[in-house]
Structure 1
Amino acid sequence: MSLGGSRRQAPPRKKLTYEKPGLTEDEIDEIREAFNLFDTDGSGTIDPGELKAAMQSLGFETKNPTIFQMIADLGHDGQHIGFEDFLDAITQKLGDKESRDGIQKIFNLFDDDKTGTITLKNLKRVSKELGETMTEEELREMIERADSNGDGAITAEDFYQIMTKKTFP
């Protein structure tokens, strides 16, 4: 008996959407893209081996030990991690970008030398890690705009003020 070429097609997959207070849909999509990079076998979960290999290949061990440790801790018990758990862990560790505590955690990622300020050197490093191609002049201008006392560095309070403004001066 021939089916005559009439094959039943599976219904189109509905894109799962996630909401997280303090994160935009675009930010969640970016976290999803990172998750998919780690999920090398396409299973929808990340096992500790995939996680460690992906983090090492991206250079996080040396570039940003804080992020490396944060993500490595996700798989510490040998369990596979689904996207929701990954999203929860990322937002819990980084915090709500609109709360003072969350903004402080983001500030600390910039202030890798623990000076209590973000300097041109810190900004250059973060810009490079994120793949941004900004001139030194553009980075200096960013610091000047945020620097309240003119010392060439951004304090945690300066950073908070800039992050909570609706427009950048």
Structure 2
Amino acid sequence: MADLKSYEVEECRAAFEVYDTTGGGQIDAMYMGPLLRALDVTVTEETVTKAGGNTKPGEKMINFEDFLPIYSDAKKSKDMGQIEDLLEGLKVYDKNENGTMMAAELAHVILSLGERLQDKEVDEIFSLCCPPEDEDGYIKYETMLRTLFAGPFPEKEEEKK
């Protein structure tokens, strides 16, 4: 691919091989979303489906050459909101205008807006990303978003800067 650097292609190849469970040079299309996310591309399930991914195992296979343009397009996609957009949206729930909101209200927002999550997924987000609630049940939502956007290895992001 002309728009991918050689190291990106090799990174893709290495990740692709992890999901190539048979060693036949193809992955099941149900692994497309996890593979893209493993390559640090943030995609919604809708985007994965539009790109050819599916949820049923064994229904469709994708080879590496077909995956590269999907990766390239997903990498360029602006389908994901930026942290500033989310912060602005959460200010609606910031009744005290001090950067905090009720933890229960934040959980409700996460559960009901955007791509649907399960209760256990929201619990995991809260346990990994949310600062402790204060005595009134409020949390600093900006801290939670920044931790969430830092990804699974925030210390590596800090090293890059």
Under a length normalisation based on structure 1, what TM-score does the superposition of the two structures give?
Answer: 0.42
Q: Pick the structure with greater CA Rg.
A: 1
Under a length normalisation based on structure 2, what TM-score does the superposition of the two structures give?
Answer: 0.44
